[in-house]
Structure 1
């Protein structure tokens, strides 16, 4: 059997362990693995009749070729956010199908977030054997409790928040740290809780400045060191502002609008007169090598994907549910939207996580 694999969407730590796991598991069965570069974009740049285009956009993955990559962050396959159905010139699904057929790819394993896996589900509906692997540091793929990259992003965020305390405290200011999380506030919720910040604003609950700002002022005033810390999701909104996605639909590097963290910082300065330290952690959250959790999940998801193909399963997405590895239909992510359980995990009146009722809860409390 010949397996094709790709990574799409934003890179996260844990993808390379997953790539290594897939390659080694397939090699143990005598299967060949082809890696496609730059996600679905690589497919669109291949002319099956042109060997140079094939070589430029795909390459064989071997046991020796993936040695040591599990210690690396990012993805050796590189990535893009391309959906072949929405590119200029119209839907190019047929080209993807043509490449798969002419290159002799028997099944695809795709690693990605919501966008990448939506097209994977589309291919599965067209009869292509597909196994999807969820990855996103926002942890917002519906149908799984966990996606590769989430643990490392939270760990990186906690480290950075605690490091920033030295400057915020030294200047007796209010620190406002903005974390990635456009639709879901899970990363901010857990990072804020683990770093024990004063307030956390998540994407699911608009910030009412008439409530939040007095709370932060009191946090600062009651602190022996005269400072306070606030974490906010990039997708959070401020009550009274226009409720629009605006630039949030674009990659962070292409946005023209001022982020919500800086808007909150300006309001703090203007309305309560405190100095502010604003910090967007942004890509630092997904930079560097994976932590132990994302290595483990990457290895496990990759091995499970091959096991499913070995027994003839297709159109599946590997998942973690209640702490157990499992798999669900590939189109599961189309059936809902994953977000923070506000009533169960968040005190919206105090802008704080409430995570201490943990009996019989899964490890990540979802």
Structure 2
């Protein structure tokens, strides 16, 4: 058996533990493992008629190559954002299939977010042996309660939010801290709750500045150190303002509009006498080594993926549901979207987490 492993989309801590787990689980079965470099984009760059290109398109993964990588962040395979069905050259699915055949791949394990896993489901629909593993610090893949990278992103965010309190207090300002989260506000909601920030604006609920600002002013006034903190999701919107959806899908260097954190800060300063401090945590949320949770889930997801292949249960996505590891059909993520349970976990009038129901909820309250 020859397995291929691929990581696509943004990097997150926990990918390398997963790669190590897949490699070691396969080695115990006497299987070969190769890592495809740079996601789907790297695959498309392979020239199957060039022996050098074929040889250098993949990294041999064995015990020595994966030794110690579980302590590293990012992905040793590197990554890219690419759907082979949508390229300047058109749909290149057939090229991907030809390359997998040339590399003699019996089964493919893909780690990614919505984009990477959608193409993985497409390959499975064509009869290929594929197992997908959900990873995204936004935790927004439908079909699983948890995605690799989420816990570390929250941990990093809480540490940064609490560290920034010293500056907010020293200058007696309102701090606006923007977190990644284009379609889902889960990262912001949980980070805001755990750091006990004053207010949190999530992607699912537009913020009315006429309601939010008085709350922040009251928070600052009632704080003996005279500061307040507002957490906001990257994909959040201000009621009545221009939709920023197209802009947040661009890389930061190609955006024409202001990020939402700066928009909110400017509104605060325009409507009050307060000064603000704006901080985008951005890539710092996904930087560095994984925390204990993401190491554990990475190890478990990797081992489960190999077990499913051994049992001939491909065309599945590994998942965590109600705290239990399992698998769902690989196309499950296509069925719906995932975000914050607003009615159960968020008080939109107060812009705060609201734990209405805790009993019988899974650990991450989803």
Q: TM-score with structure 1 length normalisation?
A: 0.99
Pairwise CA RMSD: 0.8
* Whole-Å separation in 1 of the counterparts to 2:136 and 2:228: 29
Cα deviation, residue 272, structure 1: 1.4
2:250 aligns with 250
| Separation in structure 2 between the aligned mates of residue 254 and residue 192 of structure 1, nearest angstrom | 28
Deviation at 1:356, TM superposition (A): 6.0
Query: C-alpha displacement at 1:55, in angstroms?
Result: 2.9
Q: Who is 1:44 aligned against?
A: 44
Q: Is the 8 A contact 2:142 2:333 kept in 1?
A: yes
Match of 1:55 in 2: 55
Write the distance in 1 (CA, Å) between the matches of 2:59 and 2:107: 16
**When the two structures are superposed, what TM-score results if normalisation uses the length of structure 2?**
0.99
Contact (CA 8 Å) 2:16, 2:74: kept in 1 or not?
yes
* Higher alpha-carbon deviation: 118-127 or 51-60: 51-60
How far apart are 1:56 and its partner, in Å?
A: 3.0
Aligned to 2:265: 265
Indicate the SS of the match to 2:274: coil
Q: 1 CA distance for matches of 2:37 and 2:27? A: 20
- The alpha-carbon deviation at position 226 of structure 1 amounts to 0.7
- Offset at 1:294? 0.1
Q: Is contact 2:268-2:274 (8 Å) kept?
A: yes
Moved more, 266-275 or 336-345: 266-275
Aligned to 2:210: 210
Give distance in 1, aligned partners of 2:338 and 2:244. 19
Secondary structure of the structure 2 residue equivalent to 1:131 = strand
SS in 1 for 2:133: strand
Counterparts of 1:179-190 in structure 2, within 5 Å, are: 179-190=179-190
CA–CA distance in 1 between the matches of 2:243 and 2:41?
32
1:84 aligns with: 84
Provide the C-alpha distance between the structure 1 equivalents of 2:318 and 2:172, rounded to a whole number of angstroms: 47
Quote the residue 2:124 is aligned against.
124
Q: Deviation per CA, 1:169-197, whole angstroms, max 9, x where unpaired? A: 01000000000000000000000000000
Q: Note if contact 1:36-1:59 (Cα within 8 Å) is conserved in structure 2.
A: yes
Deviation at 1:59, TM superposition (A): 1.6
In structure 2, distance between residues paired with 1:123 and 1:171: 54
Unpaired stretches in structure 2, ≥5 consecutive residues: none
**Which shifted more, 235-244 or 246-255?**
246-255
In structure 2, the residue matched to 1:171 is: 171
Q: Identify if the C-alpha distance between structure 1 residues 284 and 65 changes in structure 2 by more than 3 Å, giving closer, same or farther.
A: same
Q: What pairs up with 1:234-249 in 2 under 5 angstroms?
A: 234-249=234-249
1:13 aligned residue: 13
Q: Deviations over 1:249-296 (max 9, x none)?
A: 113343232100001001111101111010000000000000000000
Residues 42 and 58 in structure 1, CA contact (< 8 A), matched pair in contact too = no
- Structure 1 window deviating more from structure 2 (244-253 vs 178-187): it is 244-253
- How big is each residue's C-alpha offset from its partner over 1:148-170, in whole Å with a ceiling of 9 and x where there is no partner? 00000000000000000000001
Give the equivalent residue in structure 2 for 1:139. 139
Mapped contact 2:344–2:356 kept (Cα < 8 A): no
Equivalences for residues 223-234 of structure 1 within 5 A: 223-234=223-234
Corresponding residue for residue 31 of structure 2: 31
